[in-house]
Amino acid sequence: MTKLFATGAAYPPVRDIPRLARYKRGKTVFDGRHPEIYDRASALLKDTPHAAQLKTLFIAVNLMDVLLTKPADLMVGDPPSFDSGKPDVSAEQSALNRIVEENDVTQLIHETVIGAGIRGDSFIKTYYAPRADVSETEALGYEAPLNAPEPIIESVDARHVFPELSRGSRKRFKAINIAWVEWLPEYNGRLVTFFFGTTAAPYLNVERHIPGYIIYERYKLTENGVSASEGVPIDTYLIGDQVETGRSEDVVETGTSRLLVHHIPYKSVDNDWQGVGGVEKLESILAAINDRLVQIDYILWKHSDPAAYGPDITEDGADGAQVRFGGKYIPVTKDDQTPGYMTWNSQLDGAFKELDILIGLVFQMSETPQWIFGTTLASDKGGTGTSHTDAGAIKARFMPILSKVKRIRVHVDKAIRDALWTAMELENFANKGVEGFVPYTPIYPKITWQDGIPRDEKYDAEVAAIRTGDKPTLDVHSAIKRLDNVDDTHIDEILTRICEDEARVNGFVDSAVFNDSGGSG
């Protein structure tokens, strides 16, 4: 048996350092902190008097924040629906609704899509455990409240996930490790500890997921310097002896043949499991944009108070302070020429044109129309997007980003469905033979997604009428479910109230009695 983490190995593995460096660079750009971009700008003028001013005037334009958030908005701005194929009153659909609601799956999807755009990869984990962390309550000596276990679906920091590939495969995993460094106090047993406290030592916690089981391990670590081979610092360690985990069980049976960690790439290729993020292809263009803004800002700042020249005169007619305009003043003789300002052709028009092109390239490579944010930054002749009002025209204008969202959705759909199915399996396995639990059959759910664009119900109804020759295409039950986005139980209640209203308005007497021509004589 070969394991990725064992005594004598390195953490993180050398093969994963480029991936972790890419994650770190993407997060830095997304947060608007551009140390590598600033270095690029200052390096050009590091030996000139302008270097200090450039450092002060540095501007970081965070375009990636909005560009990566918008696909997530379109994906779950209108929440998707989750269907087991069973009625809402069934145990399967009730369990699915409960798991989705208690785990805030819609919000989880939104955050996961943004995270995948930053790094290229996101991971979610399914497990069965108490949701509340009552460790602090117990540590303080208080009685912990009732904390029943339940299915939990949550995101996992991609920096801590290390998959192991199946033999001969570039896409399939035989195991997935969640490994992170924890600094714990270490007592040296000397008297100085009493006076000066404790020192902290690094330990590696490993949660190894294999089909059917989770294996927990902990190792001592030794610091091994910092790797900067990929342009960003990555702390490295050597794995030492294995120690106790402190858990009651180090091997936990899951009851399912699937791994409990699910991978969501932003964009995938066929020869590598690692996803392609939305930042890594744009780093050089983003650096150029920030450099150009720094240059423009520096030029405008430098020449907002230009130097003046003129006669060599003083305010009081004697030797003393010279006349000052606002900036520097260069005295000349009275016979030279009249006073004036020194100006410089700074080629600002060319700088702004290049900036327009660079910003346009960012939006084009991100498959995002500029006008989707309500305005345009560059003169791309794309309009504002408000001149088309019918549904077909709007969707045509949104086609680039809708295609991008659909591509991302393919990966999200599979991972979320797998996670929900796994959650139902874990719940049934953990409660096997538990009194009061009603077992049900785990069902692979279906997710109905919205495209994020407001629907034109009138347009849809007109198309349906044309296609069916004005025949009814929707029953009352389905119409209420689509319009109000409620479950079958609420719909039944609404239909009951509708029937009661009709009975109250029309009365309980059959109207045919008023048309009876007979009488009593």
Q: Give the residue carrying structure tokens 């049900």.
A: 440
Percentage of the chain lying above the pLDDT 90 cut = 43
pTM more than 0.85: no
DSSP 3-state assignment of 513?
helix
pLDDT at 129: 93
Q: Is the peptide bond before 12 cis (omega within 30 degrees of 0)?
A: yes
The closest of 20, 27, 44 to 290, measured between CA atoms, is: 44
Identity of residue 206: V
> Tokens representing 118?
């930053």
The least confident of 1-15, 200-214, 471-485 is 471-485
**CA dihedral sign, ordered 251, 254, 257, 260:** negative
User: What is the total residue count of the chain?
Assistant: 521
Q: Alpha-carbon distance 455 to 483, whole Å? A: 11
CA distances from 30 to 65, 186, 280 (A): 6, 37, 11
Provide mean pLDDT across the span 262-272. 94
Q: Alpha-carbon distance 86 to 184, whole Å? A: 49
pLDDT over 50 at 336, yes or no:
yes
Q: Alpha-carbon distance 340 to 330, whole Å? A: 10
**Mean of the per-residue pLDDT values for the chain?**
81
Q: Alpha-carbon distance 432 to 152, whole Å? A: 18
CA distances from 207 to 15, 256, 410, 424 (A): 19, 17, 28, 22
pLDDT over 80 at 487, yes or no:
no
pLDDT over 50 at 57, yes or no:
no
pLDDT over 70 at 511, yes or no:
no
DSSP one-letter code for 122? E
> Tokens representing 26?
């993407």
Cβ–Cβ under 8 Å, residues 388 and 394: yes
Q: Alpha-carbon distance 237 to 362, whole Å? A: 38
pLDDT over 80 at 139, yes or no:
yes
pLDDT over 60 at 384, yes or no:
no
The least confident of 87-96, 123-132, 409-418, 479-488 is 479-488
pLDDT at 513: 46
The closest of 191, 120, 196 to 161, measured between CA atoms, is: 120
pLDDT band at 313 (very low <50, low <70, confident <90, very high): low
Cβ–Cβ under 8 Å, residues 131 and 152: yes
Of 40 and 229, the structure prediction assigns the larger pLDDT to 229
pLDDT over 60 at 387, yes or no:
no
Pairing between strand 329-332 and 308-311?
parallel
Pairing between strand 261-265 and 121-130?
antiparallel
